[in-house]
Amino acid sequence: MNQDPLLKTTYRERVLEFCERNHIVVPPAFNSRECHKFAIIDRSAVPNKLCALTAYLPWNVTEIIEQLEREKGRREWLVLDVKRCAIVKIEGKKAIKLEDLDLVRYRPSPLGSLPST
Evaluate whether residue 95 is within a structural domain.
yes
DSSP calls for 98-112? EEE----SEEE-TT-
Q: In whole numbers, what is the pLDDT of the chain averaged over residues?
A: 87
Number of domain units in the chain: 1
Contact 51, 42 (CB under 8 A): yes
Structural domain includes residue 14:
yes
What pTM value is reported for the model? Answer: 0.82
Does residue 1 belong to any structural domain of this protein? Answer: no
Confidence band of 103 (pLDDT split at 50, 70, 90): confident
What confidence tens digit (pLDDT) does each residue in 14-36 have?
A: 999 999 999 999 999 998 889 99
What is the spatial distance between Cα 106 and Cα 111, in angstroms, rounded to a whole number? Answer: 14
DSSP secondary structure code for residue 50 in this structure: E
Structural domain for 23, as ranges: 7-103
pLDDT in tens, 38-82: 999 999 999 999 999 999 999 999 999 999 999 999 999 999 999
* Residue 25 located in a structural domain: yes
The answer to whether residue 58 is domain-embedded is yes
Does residue 111 lie in a domain region? no
In a domain, 76, yes or no: yes
